[in-house]
Each structure stands twice: as structure tokens, then as C-alpha cells.
Amino acid sequence: MLIRDTLGRPIHDLRISVTDRCNFRCTYCMPREVYGRDFAFLPRSELLTFEEITRLARVFVALGVRKVRLTGGEPLLRRDLPTLVRMLAQIPDVADITLTTNGSLLERQAQALADAGLERISVSLDSLDEQVFARMNDVGFPVSSVLDGIAAAERAGLRPIKVNMVVRRGLNEHDVVPMARFFRERGQVLRFIEYMDVGHTNGWRLDDVVPANEIIAAIDADMPLVALPATYPGEVANRWAYRDGSGEVGVIASVTQPFCRDCSRARLTADGQLYTCLFASSGHDLRGPVRAGATDAELSELISSVWAARTDRYSELRSLATARPLPVLVHDPNRVEMSRIGG
């Protein structure tokens, strides 16, 4: 049974956060002044078990989901994650299982993840400059170790590898071209992400956003580009190929070029809350019904009713209303944090 929301958007992608914990304190996601030593993360008993995640994933697949992405927090902090990958890979009709990671634990886990059935991987890396990267991850983690993880993923056959770079003005916009050149030479796809107003702890300001057009112009001036068509409806990144055929880059421009109209992504938090938008202020509890003994049919009806009522188009409305951030939307203290919902 395939379902669509109020704007006719199907449910096609499921992003599953397996933990709300992370070993980085990136300033745009989990700033140290908020997520300090005394921060209360979810206790293990509140996390969905692998069996519960797999059961819910099966229900989502029956409703139209074909792509599953594991996120966090940092997903590789979740113990025995390859076991979950293996369980998800056994679900019929799942066409793609991927994972987004900061790369810190990837070198030691890449082969096990590939052997379990993981197909692709995205690695976050915001700069090749050690000082800039250390400032952004705020734990002093070295660039070289992330690159070692990427190399291990490539050896394990996790291709194509995509590298995600969040660009924030005043921090790392000068690294756009060097990053593009570096990963172009290695045949890996680099995706630039506009600094987003997700949650309320990162002090987001519109002035900190480096627009997609500026990013592409900087690269094009050094390495000429040509726009590529989307490979599927609802593709998040705008894609550009190097004119000499040496690869491509992408830009995720949710601030300046919203793509809400084609969004087909549902998000499941580590404690079983279903969110229908990255910028949502409330979720829908699925863990409670699962642990209370709900049948698959009842879970399917619950998820269907949530999706069918979906009206989310936050970024679109923000852009239509004003060129400046809307205070109510941006600073809503109830907005879910990206570290909890996944990217």
C-alpha cells in the first residue's frame, strides 16, 4: 500500500537515527556549551532495539520506502551496528542501505559494515585544514584519521563514497575550492551543505550561510562546471559535473533553494519518534505502540495517518515569506535538534 501526503508526496526514504550520542562537538550541530559533560543523553532502555527498528522498517517498506539511511548522533557509536545492517538488508524491496558518519570510527568498522550489506556511505568532513577542522569538530580530531576511514571504506567496496562539507561563513568558506580539488583528484563526490537553521542550540544566523550559488561560482572559476539533471524525483543535492569529465560535486541548498515540494523523507529517532520534516517541532511516538503490542497492521495504519496528514514545507515557507529568518520558525525552543533526528 503506497501512501502520499497532502501535497502528493510519497514516502520513499527512511532515515533512522540509532543513537543521539556523538563523539564530536561540532559547533553547528552539538555545541559543547549545550552538550557538555552533564548533558542527559537517552538511556539505553529508551533506544529502539535492533529488532524494533527492523520491524518498523518492514512496515515502512510496505508503505513505499525503498531507501534506508542510518544516522545519529554518530551511528558508529551504537554497539554491534553491523548486526542491524544485516537485519535490514534481509528486508525484501529495500533497494539501498546507506550510512552517514563523521568517519572517526570508520577505519575499524568499514569492512564489517560492507560484509553485513551496507552499500554506500557518506562521510562528514568540513575542512582539510587541521586547525579549521579541529575548531569545527571541537574535540581536536585530526583530518588524517577521517581520510583513513574514507580509504578503508573504499577498500571495503562502499562506493560511491560521498563526502559532506557544511560551509559556514567566517569558518571554512575558503576551503571550498581546495576540498573540491582534493576529492576530484580521488574520484570521490563532494557535497557542500548550506549551514542550516536546525534546532535552536547552534546560534544560526542567515549571515553565516554561504549560498549555493556562491559555492558553485567559486569552483567554476577554478574548475569549470556544467549542471546535471536530477537522477530521481526528490533528489536532495543539485549536481554539477566538471566539464573535463573528471567527476562531480553537489550542493544541498535547503536555505536558499528549498526542495520541500519533492521531499519524500521520513525520520525515525533513536527513541522511536517519527518526524516528517527535518525542521519539525514535534514527532509521533512509534516506540510506545510497538512495546504495547501493536500489530503490524496497526503500526501501518498509524504511520499512514501521520504521513497522509503531512503538510510540511518549512524551508519553502521561510523563503516565500521573507529574505530574513522568521523568528518564530528559527527560534522555536521546541524544535527538534539535528543531532537527535539525524541529517
Distance in angstroms (rounded) separating the CA atoms of residues 249 and 207:
24
> What is the DSSP pairing of strand 96-101 with strand 67-71?
parallel
**Predicted pLDDT of residue 329:** 39
Range of the domain at 315: 13-341
Residue 180: band (very low, low, confident or very high) from pLDDT cuts 50, 70, 90: very high
Q: Which residues pair with 167 in a beta bridge?
A: 194
**Predicted pLDDT of residue 280:** 84
**Predicted pLDDT of residue 203:** 60
Cell numbers found for residue 46: 529508551
Mean per-residue pLDDT for 219-228?
Answer: 97
Is 261 exposed, middle or buried (CB count within 10 Å of its CB: 0-12, 13-18, 19+)?
Answer: exposed
Distance in angstroms (rounded) separating the CA atoms of residues 172 and 176:
7
Mean per-residue pLDDT for 334-340?
Answer: 65
For 209, phi and psi rounded to 5 degrees? -80, 130
**Predicted pLDDT of residue 335:** 57
In a domain? residue 221? yes
> pTM above 0.85?
yes
Mean per-residue pLDDT for 271-292?
Answer: 94
Between 238 and 261, the more confident residue is: 238
> Looking up cell 542550516, which residue turns up?
196
**Predicted pLDDT of residue 78:** 98
**Predicted pLDDT of residue 326:** 39
Cell numbers found for residue 339: 543531532
Q: Which helix (H) or strand (E) holds 341?
A: helix 338-341
Distance in angstroms (rounded) separating the CA atoms of residues 243 and 241:
6
pLDDT reading at 48 higher than 60: yes
**Predicted pLDDT of residue 279:** 82
In a domain? residue 170? yes
**Predicted pLDDT of residue 166:** 95
Among 214-228, 273-287, 323-337, the least confident range: 323-337
**Predicted pLDDT of residue 199:** 59
**Predicted pLDDT of residue 262:** 87
Residue 331: band (very low, low, confident or very high) from pLDDT cuts 50, 70, 90: very low
Mean per-residue pLDDT for 229-248?
Answer: 90
Among 165-179, 249-263, 296-310, 312-326, the least confident range: 312-326
Distance in angstroms (rounded) separating the CA atoms of residues 174 and 127:
9
In a domain? residue 1? no
Helix count (H) and strand count (E) of the chain?
12, 12
Domain at 275, CATH number: 3.20.20.70
Tell me the torsion sign for CA atoms 145, 84, 193, 36.
negative
Among 5-19, 141-155, 314-328, the least confident range: 314-328
Task: Summarize pLDDT for 114-131 with one digit per residue, the tens.
Answer: 999 999 999 999 999 999
In a domain? residue 127? yes
In a domain? residue 73? yes
- When divided into structural domains, the chain yields a total of 1
Residue 215: band (very low, low, confident or very high) from pLDDT cuts 50, 70, 90: very high
Distance in angstroms (rounded) separating the CA atoms of residues 13 and 11:
6
Instruction: Report whether 250 contacts 240 (CB < 8 A).
Output: yes
In a domain? residue 4? no
Q: Which residues pair with 275 in a beta bridge?
A: 267
In a domain? residue 5? no
**What does the mean pLDDT of the chain come to?**
91
**Predicted pLDDT of residue 322:** 45
Distance in angstroms (rounded) separating the CA atoms of residues 129 and 158:
25
Mean per-residue pLDDT for 248-258?
Answer: 89
Beta strand ranges found along the chain (DSSP E): 13-17, 67-71, 96-101, 120-124, 161-167, 189-194, 225-227, 238-242, 248-252, 265-268, 273-275, 284-285
In a domain? residue 6? no
Distance in angstroms (rounded) separating the CA atoms of residues 115 and 158:
10
pLDDT reading at 202 higher than 70: no
